[in-house]
C-alpha cells in the first residue's frame, strides 16, 4: 500500500542491461545500477514479463546486476531490471535481449554459376544465417582466395568481384561463413568462358550479373549497393552503369564524397543519414538497349525522445497528463507502465500516441510512470512520478483565515442538464446574483466507481466529457470566491444515453499487397460481438477515387481490379442484428508498381544540324504511369536499316534529348517509351526527321525561335520553344531565356543548343510574367520571341486520404456567451467512440461576416464529438461548421449551422450625456445621450439619476421614470435655479440594468434665465488654498452660458462662452433684419407712388361721381387738398417684414383671416431660446403661476426695437381709392387694455401692450351700411401673461365679436387699439398675399373673450340699418377711412424706423 507524499522522490537507473549474444556454456552478466535518495531499493529481474527466480545459475549481485553462470537455450529471452522503493513505487528498465550463438546450415545467398566472355565482369554473392553475424572468406579451386590481384575485390558484405575476367580466373569458387559457434561452406560455383562469338557482330543487350538488394542500415553506418552488368554492343563497348535515386541521376560531384562508384559499378554510401533513404536504380545501357535494377534503402534510427514525461503533483479528483513523444525509424512502439507493471487502459486511463491521461485521480494513482519506446534497433524508457494530494473542501478552506472578512458565496441554483448524450453531459445553472462568486467547481462520479472527477469554471455551465454510455452519474456543483467554497452545493443524478449493442471493432487487421492490381485483407473477429456476427463491411478507397464498400462473410478478402502503384485506405466493420459496430483503425498500403500502360505524350522530333536531331516528349498520363518513372528509352535508326538501331536511356526527369553523331542528309526514325523499375512501357509511333545536308552558317545571328509555349504553375513556369527556321541554315550555339514580372529580361538564363525546354522556379503566384527567348551564336544574340504567362493561385496540397465531413451538426445556446456544438462522425460507426488520433476543427464567425462574404474565422480544435465554445458576444448570431483531421488527411467542411446567443445586461453605459437648457424655464433641463456601445440586446429603457450631492449613495439619488428604449432624451423638471446637479444615465434590457454612465455636472440658470450651463470637471477652479472648486456660473451670463455656437472653453473650463471681441449675435441679427426691411419698404413705396400718380385723374373723377350720387352737397374736408392727420407710433412694436408680392397692383390688401387655436401645438414642444438666434416663441399660460416668479426683469428681447418719434408720413387724400362703402369686420381693444404691472414696473413680469396686430383686407363696394366706431361698447381688459425675451400676440376666436374703436387724435397705442377690417377685393384682379409679418410658428394661445361681440355687416343683409344720404354721415365714413389709413401709415412708418 502506497502512502501519500507531498514531494518527489528520486529513483532512476544509472545503467541498464544491453542486448547480448553468448555462446552456450559461457557465463554472462546483465548490468543494472539504480540511484535512489531513499535508500537502496529492492531489485527484481523480469524475464519475458515474469519475475525471474534466483538460484545457483541466476545470481543477483549486490549492485543489482544479474549474473548467469552457464548459458543455454533456456536462457534466451527479454530481460528487465525492476527496482522498488517501499511505500513509494517501482521502476523497470528497458528490454535487453539475450541470445545464444548459432550458425544455420542454410545460406541466405550462395554463389551461382557464370558463363561470360573474357574482359567481362564476374560477381559472386554469399551470406550466411547466424548469430553473431558470420564472416565470409572465398576459395578458388579449394585454395584461399586473396584480393591481392588488381582485378579481384572481396567485399566485407560477402561479395566477390572479378573485373575484368582474365583467362586464369576461370575455375571453381565457393565461400565459407564462420562465427563463434562454427564454420560452414557453400556450394561450388563455376566460372566458365562463353564460347559463342556469333553475337559479337550483332551486339548484345545489357544483362546483370549482380543487382542491388533492399537494405536496412542503421543511421551513421556505411553500406554498398552492388551492381554489375555485361553485354557488348556493335562497337564492342561494355555497358555503362549509372545510378539514379528516386528517378533522378546521381551527380557524384555534388555528394561531397559520401556517395561514390565502387568496382564495376556498385554504389557505396558513407555515413548514411535519414535523407539517404529512398529507391535506388542501377541502370545499365549500351547501344543495343538499357535495363534497370531497383533496390530500397531504409535508414534505421534508434528510438529517441523528443518530449519526455515530467513528474506531476496533482490533487484528487482532478486529472494528470504525461506527455511522451518519441521518434525513430521505424516508428517506435510506445507503451506505458506504472510501478513496473503494464498499465491497463480504461475509461479513466487513456493512452494516446503522445500522452497519457489519468482522470479522476485517487490516492492509489501515486507512483512512477514510465514511457517505453522500442523498434528493431532497441528500446528506451523515461520515468516520471505522480504524487496525488488530498483534495477535500475542508483542507482547501482551512488554508484561509477568513474570520468574517467575507461571507461564503451562496450555492448554485437551477442546476440542470442541458444536453445528455452517450459520452458527454452539458450542465448549466443560474449565475450568482450577489456578484461575490468568482468560479464554480463541478464534481462528478459514475455510480459504483471510486473515481470522482472535477473541473473548475468561471461560467455557469460545464461539459463533462469521456463518459460511459448507459451509466448513472452523480453530479455536484459548488461555488467559490477568493476565500472559500459555498457551504452547500447543488446536486443531481443524470443517466447517459444507452449505447447500441453493436460489435466492437475487428482485431488484428492486416493488409498485404499481392500484385499491382490486388491487396489481401485479413482480420480476426471482434472481442465483443454482442450477438451473432452477420457480416463484415470492408471499405476501401484510394487517394484519387471515391470510397467503395463490399460485404464479406469471412475474415479475409482479396481485393482485385485495383490500380497499380496506388495508396489504398482500408477499414473493416462488423455487423450484428443491431447494426454496424465500431470500425477498425484505418490501414494504408500501396499496390505494387508495374510497367507504364501508355507511351509518353506529345513526342516530337526536329532537325538541329547536319549531324543531330532533337527529341521532345511529355510523361504518360498520371493514371497510366503505374509507378515512379525512372527514365525514358529512345530507340532510333536510319530509314531502311535492317537492324534495330541504337538505344539511349535518359533520366526520369528529362523531357528533351539530342541525338548526335548522325549521318548528314539522312532520315531517321525515332520511338520513345517510359520506364519504371518493372520495365519499359509501350513505344510511341515512329517519329521521322532528316538531318541537314551541309553545316550551318554562322556569319549572321539566328532568327527568332518559331514558337514559344508556356505552362504556368503556382510558383513556376515551364517554357519550351522550337528552333529558328531550319531553312535559314544558321548555326545556333545556345539560347537566352529571359523573364520578369511585368517587364522582360529582369533575369536571364543562358542555355545550351540542345536545351529547348526550361522550368523557371521561385515565382510569385497569381502574377504576370513577360518571357523572352532568343537564339545565339558566335555572331551574337538573334531576334527575340515574346510571350506572357500568369502564374496560377497557390493550390492546397493534395490530401492523401479523403475523409467524409461530419454530419448532423447541432448547436445549443447555453448562455449569452456560450454555445455547445455536437456532431456525428460517420466513419467511426454508431458507437461514436474515437479509437485513433483524429481531431475535429470547429470554425465560426459572425453571421454578419457571412453575409458580407468575409473569411475572418475563429477556430477551435476538439478531440471529442462536441465542442464547448465560450467567450462569445451576447445577442449575436454565429455561423458554425466543422471538419475532421487525421494525420495528413482532412475532410471537407460540414454543412453550416447558425444560432444566436442569449441577451445579457448591457456591458457599457450610455455615452455622450449632454444637458441642454430648456427655453424659458430655468427649472428644467433636457438630458440627451447616445445608446451603449455594447447593449447586448434590445434596449428597453433608461433611468436618469440626479442629485445635488455627489457623495450620496446612489440609492439616495433622484431617479426619473423609465423611458422607452428608442428615446434618447428626457426633460428633468422642477429643479432649483442656480444649483449644481450631477446626472447619470443607466440603460436596461430584458436581462437587467447595465453600468452607469459617467457623471455630468450641470448648473441651472438663475431665476432671470442668466448663467447656468454644463461644468467640465477637467477644469476645476483653483482656490487660494490650492484645492479645486466648482466654477461659479452666476458671475456673467456671457461667460457662463453653455451652448451657443462655439466649443471653446473659458478660464473656468466651460464651453460655449461668447467671444469678447465683435458684436453679440442678437444685435447682428437685428441690424441685418432692419436693413433688409427698410430696403424692401422703400421699393414698395416707390412703386405705389408711381402707380398712384398714373391713375390720379381717373380716381379723382370716379370719387367725385360717387360723392355726387350719395349727396348733392359736399361736406368739409372732401376737397383734393385735404391733408390727413399725422400718424406715428409710440411704444415698442414688432418689426414687420412686408414682401413686395404682398401688395395688390390696384388695391390695398391686408388679411384679417384668423388662425384657429387648433393650428397650434403645446408650448412644451418649443425648443429652448438661444441668444445667437433671432427668434421669438410663445409661452403656454399653463405654467404661468409656477414660472412667473422665476422670470427675469423685462428687457428688450432680440428682434424687438423701440422706434423713434419721427416725422409723420403724409398720404394725400386723392391717392386713396374711390370712396365706396366698406364692408368691415372689426375687432378692437379698449383703451387701457394693458397689463397694469407694466406701467408700475413690477419685477419678474414682462408684458407688451394688449393690442392685437391689425391686419387689413379692404374690399370696396358701390354702397353699403356704415358703422361708427363709437357705437360699440368697449371690451374688458385682457390679462397679459409673462414671457421671456419675447412679446405675445393674443389671437381671438373667430366666433367672437369685438367693438369698433373710434379713431382719436391720441398718438399712443396705450389709449386705443387698431381694429381688423377686411375690404372687398376687385373682381378683375387676383388678390395678392396678405400683408402680414413673417410667418409665425403656430402655437396654442389662450382665447380672449371680449364683452362686446364682433359685428359683421354686409350690404343688403341687415334690413334694420338704413342707408345714409346725409353729408355728416358721409364725413363720418370718410373719417373712419382716414383712421384706417393712419394705422396703415403707422405700420409703414414702423418699418422705416429700422
Angle between helix 1367-1392 and helix 1065-1094 axes, rounded to 10 deg:
140
Contact call for residues 88 and 6 (beta carbons, < 8 A):
no
* pLDDT the model gives residue 492: 93
Number of other CB atoms surrounding residue 387 within 10 Å: 20
pLDDT band at 149 (very low <50, low <70, confident <90, very high): confident
pLDDT recorded at residue 645 = 81
Per residue in 306-321, pLDDT tens? 999 999 999 888 889 9
Task: Compute CA 1172 distance to the chain's CA centroid, rounded to the nearest angstrom.
Answer: 51
Query: Among 581-585, 636-640, 887-891, which stretch is predicted with the lowest mean pLDDT?
Result: 887-891
Q: Are 816 and 936 in contact (CB under 8 A)?
A: yes
Q: What is the pLDDT of residue 402?
A: 40
Q: Would strands 452-457 and 613-618 be described as parallel, antiparallel, or unpaired?
A: unpaired
User: Which of 95, 89, 111 shows the shortest CA–CA distance to 175?
Assistant: 111
Q: 891 exposed, middle or buried (CB, 10 Å; 0-12, 13-18, 19+)?
A: buried
- What's the CA gap between 869 and 1053, in Å, rounded? 49
pLDDT at 305: 94
Mean pLDDT of 1249-1264: 37
Looking at the DSSP bridge assignments, the partners of residue 519 are 513, 559
State the average pLDDT over residues 273-301.
91
349-351 vs 355-358, strand pairing mode:
antiparallel
> How is residue 1256 annotated by DSSP?
B
Q: How many helices (H) and strands (E) in the chain?
A: 9, 96
**DSSP secondary structure code for residue 56 in this structure:** S
Instruction: Give the pLDDT score at 271.
Output: 93
Q: Note the pLDDT of residue 169.
A: 92
pLDDT of residue 298: 93
Using CA of residue 1114, residue 1120, residue 1121, residue 1124, what is the dihedral sign? positive
Q: What is the mean pLDDT of residues 1324-1339?
A: 39
At 316 the pLDDT is 87
Question: In whole angstroms, what is the distance from residue 368 CA to residue 385 CA?
Answer: 4
pLDDT exceeds 60 at position 359: yes
Q: What is the model's pLDDT at position 1108?
A: 53
pLDDT at 654: 87
pLDDT at 829: 66
Place 512 in a pLDDT band, splitting at 50, 70 and 90: very high
Paired residues of 248 in beta bridges: 245
Does the pLDDT at position 841 exceed 70?
yes
Question: Does residue 205 or residue 1115 have the better pLDDT?
Answer: 205
- Of the listed ranges 15-19, 481-485, 897-901, 1033-1037, the least confidently predicted one is 1033-1037
H or E stretch covering 769: strand 768-777
Range from 102-116, 909-923, 1257-1271 carrying the lowest mean pLDDT: 1257-1271
pLDDT at site 87 = 84
More confidently predicted of 718 and 1146: 718
The predicted pLDDT at position 1344 comes to 37
Prior bond of 794 cis (ω within 30°): no
The pLDDT value given to residue 1083: 86
More confident residue, 1009 or 69: 69
How far, in Å, CA of 368 to CA of 726, rounded?
A: 82
**Positive or negative CA dihedral for 1114, 1117, 1118, 1119?**
positive
- What is the pLDDT at residue 1100? 67
- Decide if 614 contacts 656 (C-beta within 8 A): yes
Residue 922 has pLDDT above 80, yes or no: yes
User: Do residues 427 and 417 touch, judged by C-beta distance below 8 A?
Assistant: yes
- Using CA atoms, how far apart are residues 676 and 591, in angstroms rounded to an integer? 14
- What pLDDT is recorded for position 1369? 62
Mean pLDDT of the chain: 76
Measured distance between the N- and C-terminal CA atoms of the chain, rounded to whole angstroms: 113
Q: Residue 1088: enclosing H or E segment and its boundaries? A: helix 1065-1094
User: Per-residue DSSP letters for 613-638?
Assistant: EEEEEEPPPGGGT-S---EEEEEEEE
d(CA 1164, CA 1143): 36
Higher pLDDT pick, 350 / 26: 26
276 or 1233: which leads in pLDDT: 276
| pLDDT at res. 212 | 94
Instruction: Name the pTM for this structure.
Output: 0.58
Average pLDDT over residues 834-845: 85
Structure confidence at residue 1244 as a pLDDT band (50, 70, 90): very low
Neighbouring C-beta atoms of residue 974, cutoff 10 Å: 8
- Non-local (6+) Cβ contacts of 145 within 8 A are 137, 138, 139, 152, 154, 160, 173
Dump pLDDT digits (tens) for 1278-1312. Answer: 333 333 333 333 333 434 433 334 444 443 333 33
Q: Is residue 1003 a contact partner of residue 980, using CB atoms and an 8 Å limit?
A: yes
Q: Give yes or no for residue 396 having a pLDDT over 80.
A: no
Q: Report pLDDT for 1307.
A: 38
Backbone angles phi, psi at 1179, to 5 degrees: -120, 135
Nearest to 273 by CA among 345, 224, 222, 338: 222
d(CA 822, CA 497): 15
Helix pair angle (1096-1110, 1065-1094), 10° resolution: 70
* Pick from 1298, 1306, 1176: nearest CA to 1226: 1298
Under 8 Å between Cβ of 219 and 272:
yes
- The DSSP result for 310-349, as a single string, is --EEEETTS-EEEE-EEEEESPPEEEEEETTEEPPP-SSE
SS3 480: strand
58-60: strand order across its sheet? 28-30, 66-68, 58-60
Let me know the angle formed at the C-alpha of 223 by 217 and 227, rounded to the nearest 5 degrees.
Answer: 120
Q: What is the pLDDT of residue 1317?
A: 38
pLDDT(138) > 90: yes
Pick from 638, 636, 706, 714: nearest CA to 672: 636
CA Rg, the chain, in Å? 56
- Which of 790, 735, 800 is CA-nearest to residue 765? 790
Q: What is the pLDDT of residue 1073?
A: 79
CB 387, CB 312: distance < 8 Å: yes
**Lowest-confidence pick of 387-396, 576-585, 1078-1087:** 387-396
| Confidence class for position 465, pLDDT limits 50, 70, 90 | confident
pLDDT score of 135 more than 60: yes
3 state SS of 985: strand
Asked if 874 and 892 touch (Cβ cutoff 8 Å), the reply is no
Q: For 799-833, what is the HEC assignment? A: CCCCCCCCEEEEEEECCCCCEEEEEECHHHCCCCC
Half-sphere exposure of 1022 (CA within 13 A, CB side): 2
Percent of the chain with pLDDT over 90: 40
Q: How far is CA 117 from CA 194, 204, 238, 240, 1309, in A?
A: 5, 12, 11, 17, 151
Task: Give dist(CA 392, CA 966) in Å, integer.
Answer: 52
> Could you give the dihedral angle defined by the CA atoms of residues 819, 825, 828 and 829, in that order, rounded to the nearest 10 degrees?
100
pLDDT at position 1206 over 80: no
pLDDT digits (tens, 9 = 90+) for 1094-1127: 667 666 666 665 555 544 443 333 434 444 444 4
* pLDDT exceeds cutoff 50 at 881: yes
Amino acid at each position: 500500500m502506497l502512502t501519500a507524499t507531498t514531494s518527489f522522490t528520486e529513483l532512476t537507473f544509472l545503467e541498464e542491461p544491453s542486448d547480448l549474444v553468448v555462446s552456450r556454456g559461457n557465463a554472462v552478466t546483465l548490468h543494472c545500477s539504480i540511484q535512489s535518495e531513499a535508500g537502496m531499493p529492492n531489485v527484481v529481474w523480469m524475464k519475458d514479463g515474469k519475475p525471474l527466480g534466483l538460484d545457483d545459475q541466476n545470481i543477483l549481485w549486490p549492485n543489482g546486476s544479474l549474473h548467469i553462470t552457464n548459458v543455454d537455450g533456456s536462457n534466451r529471452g527479454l530481460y528487465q531490471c525492476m527496482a522498488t522503493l517501499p511505500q513509494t513505487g517501482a521502476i523497470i528498465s528497458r528490454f535487453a535481449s539475450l541470445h545464444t550463438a548459432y550458425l544455420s546450415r542454410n545460406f541466405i545467398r550462395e554463389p551461382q554459376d557464370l558463363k561470360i566472355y573474357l574482359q567481362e565482369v564476374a560477381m559472386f554473392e554469399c551470406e550466411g544465417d547466424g548469430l553473431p553475424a558470420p564472416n565470409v572468406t572465398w576459395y578458388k579451386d579449394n585454395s584461399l582466395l586473396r584480393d591481392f590481384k588488381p582485378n579481384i575485390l572481396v567485399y566485407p558484405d560477402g561479395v566477390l568481384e572479378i573485373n575484368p575476367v582474365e583467362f586464369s580466373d576461370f575455375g571453381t569458387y565457393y565461400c565459407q561463413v564462420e562465427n563463434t559457434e562454427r564454420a560452414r561452406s557453400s556450394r561450388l560455383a563455376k566460372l566458365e568462358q562463353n564460347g559463342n562469338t556469333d553475337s559479337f557482330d550483332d551486339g548484345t543487350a545489357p544483362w546483370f550479373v549482380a543487382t542491388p538488394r533492399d537494405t536496412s542500415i542503421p543511421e551513421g553506418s556505411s553500406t554498398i549497393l552492388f551492381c554489375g552488368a555485361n553485354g557488348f554492343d556493335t562497337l564492342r563497348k561494355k555497358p555503362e552503369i549509372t545510378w539514379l535515386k528516386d528517378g533522378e541521376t546521381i551527380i557524384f560531384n555534388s555528394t561531397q564524397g559520401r556517395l561514390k562508384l565502387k568496382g564495376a559499378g556498385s554504389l557505396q554510401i558513407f555515413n548514411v543519414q535519414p535523407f539517404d533513404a529512398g529507391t535506388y536504380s542501377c541502370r545499365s545501357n549500351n547501344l543495343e538497349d538499357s535495363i534497370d535494377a531497383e533496390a530500397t534503402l531504409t535508414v534505421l534510427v534508434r528510438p529517441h525522445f523528443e518530449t519526455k514525461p515530467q513528474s506531476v503533483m496533482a490533487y484528487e479528483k482532478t486529472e494528470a497528463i504525461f506527455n511522451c513523444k518519441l521518434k525513430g525509424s521505424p516508428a517506435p512502439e510506445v507503451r506505458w507502465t506504472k510501478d513496473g507493471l503494464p498499465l491497463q487502459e480504461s475509461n479513466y486511463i487513456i493512452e494516446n500516441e503522445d500522452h497519457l491521461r489519468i482522470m479522476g485521480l485517487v490516492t492509489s494513482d501515486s507512483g512512477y510512470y514510465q514511457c517505453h519506446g522500442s523498434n528493431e534497433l532497441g528500446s528506451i524508457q523515461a520515468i516520471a512520478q505522480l504524487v496525488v494530494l488530498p483534495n477535500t473542501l475542508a483542507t482547501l478552506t482551512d488554508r484561509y483565515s477568513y474570520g468574517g472578512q467575507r461571507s461564503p458565496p451562496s450555492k448554485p441554483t437551477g442546476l440542470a442538464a442541458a444536453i445528455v448524450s452517450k459520452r458527454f453531459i452539458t450542465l448549466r445553472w443560474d449565475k450568482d446574483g450577489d456578484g461575490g462568486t468568482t468560479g464554480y467547481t463541478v464534481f462528478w462520479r459514475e455510480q459504483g466507481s471510486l473515481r470522482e472527477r472535477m473541473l473548475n469554471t468561471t461560467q455557469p455551465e460545464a461539459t463533462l466529457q469521456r463518459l460511459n454510455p448507459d451509466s448513472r452519474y452523480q453530479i455536484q456543483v459548488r461555488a467559490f470566491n477568493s476565500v472559500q467554497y459555498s457551504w452547500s452545493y447543488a446536486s443531481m443524478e443524470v443517466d447517459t444515453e444507452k449505447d447500441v449493442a453493436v460489435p466492437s471493432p475487428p482485431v488484428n487487421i492486416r493488409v498485404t499487397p499481392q500484385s499491382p492490381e490486388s491487396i489481401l485483407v485479413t482480420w480476426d473477429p471482434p472481442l465483443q460481438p454482442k450477438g451473432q456476427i452477420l457480416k463484415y463491411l470492408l471499405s476501401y478507397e484510394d487517394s484519387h477515387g471515391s470510397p467503395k464498400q463490399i460485404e464479406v462473410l469471412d475474415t479475409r478478402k482479396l481485393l482485385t481490379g485495383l490500380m497499380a502503384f496506388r495508396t489504398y485506405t482500408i477499414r473493416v466493420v462488423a455487423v450484428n442484428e443491431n447494426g454496424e459496430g465500431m470500425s477498425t483503425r484505418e490501414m494504408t498500403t500501396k499496390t505494387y508498381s508495374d510497367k507504364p500502360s501508355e507511351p509518353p505524350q506529345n513526342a516530337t522530333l526536329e532537325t538541329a544540324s547536319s549531324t543531330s536531331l532533337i527529341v521532345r516528349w511529355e510523361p504518360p498520363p498520371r493514371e497510366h504511369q503505374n509507378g515512379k518513372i525512372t527514365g525514358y528509352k529512345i530507340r532510333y535508326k536510319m530509314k531502311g536499316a535492317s537492324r534495330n538501331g541504337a538505344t539511349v536511356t535518359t533520366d526520369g526527369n528529362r523531357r528533351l534529348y539530342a541525338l548526335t553523331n548522325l549521318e548528314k542528309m539522312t532520315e531517321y526514325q525515332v520511338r520513345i517509351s517510359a520506364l519504371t523499375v518493372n520495365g519499359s512501357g509501350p513505344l510511341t509511333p515512329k517519329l521521322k526527321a532528316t538531318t541537314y545536308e551541309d553545316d550551318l552558317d554562322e556569319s549572321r545571328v539566328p532568327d527568332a525561335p518559331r514558337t514559344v509555349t508556356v505552362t504556368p504553375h503556382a510558383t513556376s513556369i515551364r517554357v519550351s520553344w522550337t528552333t529558328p527556321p531550319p531553312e535559314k541554315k544558321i548555326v545556333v550555339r545556345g539560347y537566352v531565356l529571359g523573364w520578369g514580372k511585368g517587364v522582360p529580361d529582369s533575369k536571364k538564363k543562358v542555355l545550351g543548343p540542345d536545351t529547348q525546354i526550361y522550368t523557371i522556379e521561385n515565382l510569385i503566384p497569381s502574377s504576370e510574367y513577360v518571357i523572352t527567348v532568343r537564339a545565339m551564336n558566335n555572331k551574337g544574340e538573334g531576334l527575340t520571341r515574346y510571350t506572357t504567362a500568369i502564374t496560377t493561385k497557390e493550390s492546397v496540397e493534395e490530401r492523401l486520404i479523403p475523409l467524409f465531413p461530419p454530419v448532423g451538426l447541432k448547436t445549443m445556446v447555453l448562455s449569452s456567451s456560450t454555445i455547445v456544438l455536437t456532431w456525428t462522425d460517420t466513419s467511426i460507426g454508431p458507437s461514436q467512440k474515437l479509437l485513433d488520433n483524429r481531431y475535429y476543427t470547429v470554425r465560426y464567425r459572425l453571421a454578419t461576416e457571412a453575409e458580407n462574404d468575409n473569411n475572418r474565422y475563429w477556430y477551435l480544435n476538439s478531440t471529442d464529438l462536441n465542442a464547448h465554445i465560450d467567450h462569445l458576444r451576447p445577442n449575436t448570431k454565429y455561423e458554425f461548421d466543422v471538419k475532421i483531421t487525421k494525420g495528413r488527411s482532412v475532410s471537407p467542411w460540414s454543412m453550416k449551422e447558425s444560432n444566436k446567443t442569449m441577451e445579457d445586461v448591457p456591458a457599457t453605459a450610455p455615452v455622450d450625456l449632454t444637458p441642454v437648457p430648456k427655453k424659458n424655464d430655468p427649472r428644467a433641463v433636457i438630458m440627451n445621450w447616445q445608446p451603449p456601445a455594447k447593449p447586448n440586446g434590445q434596449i428597453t429603457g433608461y433611468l436618469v439619476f440626479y442629485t445635488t450631492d455627489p457623495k450620496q449613495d446612489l440609492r439616495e439619488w433622484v431617479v426619473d421614470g423609465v423611458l422607452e428604449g428608442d428615446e434618447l432624451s428626457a426633460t428633468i423638471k422642477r429643479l432649483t435655479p442656480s444649483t449644481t446637479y450631477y446626472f447619470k444615465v443607466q440603460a436596461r434590457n430584458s436581462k437587467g440594468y447595465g453600468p452607469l454612465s459617467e457623471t455630468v455636472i450641470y448648473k441651472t440658470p438663475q431665476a432671470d434665465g442668466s448663467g447656468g450651463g454644463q461644468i467640465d470637471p477637467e477644469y476645476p477652479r483653483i482656490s487660494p488654498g490650492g484645492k479645486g472648486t466648482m466654477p461659479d456660473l452666476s458671475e456673467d451670463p456671457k461667460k457662463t452660458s453653455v451652448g451657443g455656437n462655439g466649443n471653446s472653453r473659458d478660464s473656468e473650463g466651460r464651453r460655449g462662452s461668447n467671444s469678447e471681441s465683435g458684436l453679440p449675435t442678437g444685435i447682428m441679427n437685428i441690424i441685418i433684419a432692419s436693413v433688409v426691411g427698410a430696403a424692401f419698404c422703400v421699393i414698395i413705396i416707390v412703386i405705389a407712388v408711381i402707380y398712384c400718380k398714373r391713375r390720379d385723374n381717373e380716381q379723382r373723377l370716379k370719387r367725385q361721381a360717387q360723392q355726387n350720387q350719395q349727396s348733392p352737397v359736399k361736406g368739409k374736408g372732401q376737397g383734393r387738398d385735404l391733408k390727413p392727420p399725422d400718424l406715428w407710433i409710440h411704444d415698442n412694436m414688432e418689426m414687420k417684414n412686408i414682401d413686395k408680392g404682398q401688395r395688390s397692383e390696384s388695391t390695398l390688401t391686408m388679411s384679417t383671416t384668423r388662425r384657429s387655436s387648433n393650428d397650434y401645438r403645446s408650448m412644451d414642444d418649443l425648443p429652448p431660446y438661444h441668444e445667437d438666434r433671432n427668434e421669438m416663441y410663445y409661452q403656454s399660460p399653463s405654467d404661468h403661476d409656477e414660472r412667473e416668479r422665476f422670470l427675469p426683469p423685462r428687457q428688450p428681447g432680440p428682434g424687438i426695437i423701440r422706434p423713434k418719434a419721427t416725422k409723420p408720413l403724409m398720404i394725400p387724400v386723392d391717392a386713396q381709392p374711390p370712396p365706396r362703402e366698406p364692408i368691415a369686420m372689426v375687432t378692437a381693444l379698449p383703451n387701457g387694455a394693458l397689463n397694469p404691472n407694466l406701467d408700475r414696473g413690477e419685477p419678474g413680469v414682462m408684458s407688451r401692450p394688449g393690442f392685437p396686430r391689425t391686419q387689413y383686407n379692404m374690399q370696396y363696394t358701390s354702397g353699403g351700411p356704415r358703422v361708427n366706431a363709437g357705437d360699440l361698447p368697449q371690451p374688458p381688459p385682457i390679462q397679459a401673461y409673462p414671457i421671456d425675451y419675447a412679446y405675445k400676440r393674443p389671437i381671438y376666436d373667430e366666433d367672437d365679436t369685438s367693438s369698433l374703436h373710434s379713431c382719436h387724435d391720441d398718438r399712443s397705442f396705450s389709449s386705443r387699439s387698431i381694429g381688423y377690417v377686411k375690404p372687398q377685393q376687385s373682381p378683375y384682379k387676383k388678390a395678392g398675399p396678405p400683408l402680414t409679418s413673417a410667418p409665425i410658428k403656430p402655437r396654442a394661445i389662450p382665447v380672449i373673450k371680449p364683452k362686446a361681440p364682433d359685428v359683421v355687416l354686409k350690404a343688403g343683409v341687415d334690413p334694420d340699418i338704413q342707408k345714409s344720404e346725409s353729408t355728416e354721415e358721409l364725413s363720418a365714413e370718410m373719417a373712419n377711412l382716414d383712421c384706417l389709413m393712419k394705422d396703415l401709415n403707422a405700420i409703414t412708418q414702423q418699418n422705416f424706423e429700422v
